[in-house]
Structure 1
Amino acid sequence: MPALPLPPATISTSALPLIAEAMQASGVDAARAFAESGLGRPDRVTQGAAAAACDLPLAQFTDLMQAGGSQAPDEGRMWRCGQAIAAPALAELFPAGLEARRLDGLLDGLLADLQSLQHGTAFQRSIADDTCILTYRIIDPAIWPRSRDAEFTLAFLDAVIRRFAAGDAAFPVALSFEHERDTGASLARLAGSAPLYGQPSNMLAFPARLLETPVHPPSVLPVPERLSFRPVPASPAPAAAAEPSCAEIIEAVYRRLGQGQLSQGTIAEDCGLSERSLRRQLDRRGQSFRSLVEDARTAYALWALRETHLPVGEIAWRLGYDDQGAFARAFRRAAGTSPSRFRQQNGRD
């Protein structure tokens, strides 16, 4: 039986009116970017989005980000766009988050709303020692690399934090991207921190003490009068907790892809299942956990060998192989050639 595919990655069109406005405010020709990504005229798209939100393929949305950022690649315009969108998005698109009393509650609500807005992505907040870490990634390797989308999203999160912790300039302490550096834009100047490129995830880190910052009421968040659109509708609460589906198990595997070991126990824990229940779910669809992981590893390896300059040994480590030889044998079984030969024939110059 063929490998089970990832569920489709989509994003709600409810965000498009705001994005068109933020692009214009950041010096991006929104009409050109919308046209180049196949979305048509911004006025027609945004009018339709405001009237009735629907789902857009996430790949087309990231094409929009790439098109906008390509207009002046050395000016970091999509980072500026992400900053410009923060205040109006909080006030108009994600107002529920402003009901929180502290920044930690606001961020948790915001990440949950973003997760419901975008399917096929992973947002997470964690704390390590005295540092809060926000991570974001598109989980489908077929959509990678989407550098301008990652910059836009982290800039938005960075601007949200700065808006409520404006009196503390000691953040971010770290900024990293999955993509390799592909423009001359100085994000170190724009973001206040020199980013690392080619990392396992897109990450923004800042002092955890800022999570205790009080959240100001919405009245202090001025929104340009020309921005007017509908907030993200609240998702109805499920009647009862349901056992994760096979699709959710597949997504759990891809969320951890490229970050080390992919054990059955870890994925079962992520899904709130026992290992036995996880196997049962996959067996119903004729899929074994081992074949699922092999398919995911192959997808990541194909992307990394084509689109990055990561050493083969680093790719093997990120995929959780014990050594480079084990990775090479597995890749040859899946692709019919060695990793080095594949890169020679398909990789970037």
Structure 2
Amino acid sequence: MSVSTPASTVSTPVSTVSTSASTVSSHIAGILVDAALSAGAGTDRIAQLLGWDPELLRDRSFRIPVGDVSRLWGLLYTLAGPRAGVLAADRAEHGRLYVWDYLISNAPTLADGLREAARFNTTICDPKVGLEVIEDGSLLTARYFDLPHREPLDALVREFAAVVTARRAVAGFGDAGIPVRVEFSHSAPADRGYLVRALGTGNIHFDQPRDAITFLGTGAPVRPNDPLLQGILREHAERMLESGDPEPPWLEAFRRVLRARLSDRATGGARLDEVAKRLGVSERTLQRRLADHRTTWRVELETVRRDLAIALLRNGSDSIQSIALQLGYRDHRVLARAFRRWTGQSPAGFRRAIAN
């Protein structure tokens, strides 16, 4: 997305690389889970809130629905109040944001590092979130926009983003990374001292038209850097964006439970209430979560039934009636109608074709 700026400025637009909408990297979600744990939330409470095991966040390839991330921010706000954004930033040690961190810290100048951060912001953020870098004379400004959360969570996210950006700048470029001005579009908290300490400056302004953090670009040192390593990091970030996103962890957890229920001969199919209970949520919450992922119980059930029916007919010797009952159908005739709809063949015809 390109943003026009006055002729006297040089603007680095945010990345336009496509990725699945309304998801956030597992790195961000992992930081929020750690912050919630440090604030007193138990693992069970977090799992219940999300409907999936937080251990799945160990997989760096996962992208988390923004709705789940909002739930984590809501939990943090309940536990820590307005300071929750800085609490989360405290858990975001250098390296927690993976390649994004190293693109900044390996850059030769602060301006170059912030440009890399803007270009590959989507590796950690919702693709709708923008990060623009503007150079205007001696000033270097990073501006975030289109943050997806509502009040009061939006203030937490803005403060988290500003503190993480400032700390990455200081880690890479020393005192030159201390901001000279910070702007927030939300109202000032009752006590802004925690932000002064976290950002290293008292020049913080609220109720502004933008969310921005400004540095003195002319004072930033030019450091020796490894351009080959920077190229490798950039290529890796590009592959992350181009490879597409795997299924979010909640949806994968749901499908794993559903497959397990249908694979168990003793269960005789899978019911909505049973799967919801296994996931630790209500039936209504389960259906709402499926809707959030643009799918339904019926669609998911039919998909797993189809895949299991094909696998059982191809690899097993069970009767078609037995397979029908295992998959939760009343009898083999109902399975036959569904199987013909899926494949254009009867179960018996499919099995004969495989045998031949």
TM-score (structure 1 length as normaliser): 0.50
2:46 to 23, 26, 35: 35
The answer to whether the 8 A contact 2:186-2:207 is kept is yes
1:109 to 110, 116, 122: 116
Q: Are residue 100 (structure 1) and residue 107 (structure 2) matched? A: yes
Counterparts of 1:213 and 1:82 in 2: how far apart (Å)?
A: 27
Counterparts of 1:37 and 1:146 in 2: how far apart (Å)?
A: 23
Counterparts of 1:203 and 1:33 in 2: how far apart (Å)?
A: 37
Structure 2 counterparts to residues 40-51 of structure 1, below 5 A: 40=51, 44-45=53-54, 47-51=55-59
2:75 to 47, 51, 67: 67
Q: Are residue 174 (structure 1) and residue 174 (structure 2) matched? A: no
Q: Are residue 236 (structure 1) and residue 247 (structure 2) matched? A: no
How many residues matched? 213
2:157 maps to a residue whose letter is D
The answer to whether the 8 A contact 1:16-1:49 is kept is yes
Q: Are residue 206 (structure 1) and residue 215 (structure 2) matched? A: yes
Residue matched to 2:315 = none
The answer to whether the 8 A contact 1:10-1:120 is kept is no
1:147 to 131, 146, 155: 155
1:17 maps to a residue whose letter is G
1:155 maps to a residue whose letter is V
Alignment CA distance shift 1:58-1:198 (3 Å):
farther
Alignment CA distance shift 1:22-1:38 (3 Å):
closer
Residue matched to 2:164 = 156
Alignment CA distance shift 1:189-1:8 (3 Å):
same
Percent identity between the aligned chains?
12
Q: Are residue 121 (structure 1) and residue 132 (structure 2) matched? A: no
The answer to whether the 8 A contact 2:33-2:46 is kept is no
The answer to whether the 8 A contact 2:74-2:153 is kept is no
Alignment CA distance shift 1:81-1:212 (3 Å):
same
Structure 2 counterparts to residues 298-337 of structure 1, below 5 A: none
Residue matched to 1:57 = 65
What SS does structure 1 have at the residue aligned with 2:108?
Answer: coil
Shift of 1:163: 1.0
Q: Are residue 197 (structure 1) and residue 203 (structure 2) matched? A: no
- Note the residue ranges of structure 2 that are not aligned, 5 or more in a row: 1-19, 227-235, 244-356
Which structure has the larger Rg? 2
User: Comparing 195-204 with 208-217, which one deviates more in the overlay?
Assistant: 208-217
The answer to whether the 8 A contact 1:126-1:132 is kept is yes
Structure 2 counterparts to residues 253-332 of structure 1, below 5 A: none
Q: Deviations over 1:268-327 (max 9, x none)?
A: xxxxxxxxxxxxxxxxxxxxxxxxxxxxxxxxxxxxxxxxxxxxxxxxxxxxxxxxxxxx
TM-score (structure 2 length as normaliser): 0.49
Residue matched to 1:288 = none
- Note the residue ranges of structure 1 that are not aligned, 5 or more in a row: 1-6, 218-229, 238-349
What SS does structure 2 have at the residue aligned with 1:158?
Answer: helix
Structure 2 counterparts to residues 330-345 of structure 1, below 5 A: none
Shift of 1:59: 4.2
What SS does structure 1 have at the residue aligned with 2:111?
Answer: helix
Q: CA RMSD in A?
A: 3.8
The answer to whether the 8 A contact 1:93-1:232 is kept is no
Structure 2 counterparts to residues 77-92 of structure 1, below 5 A: 77-89=84-96
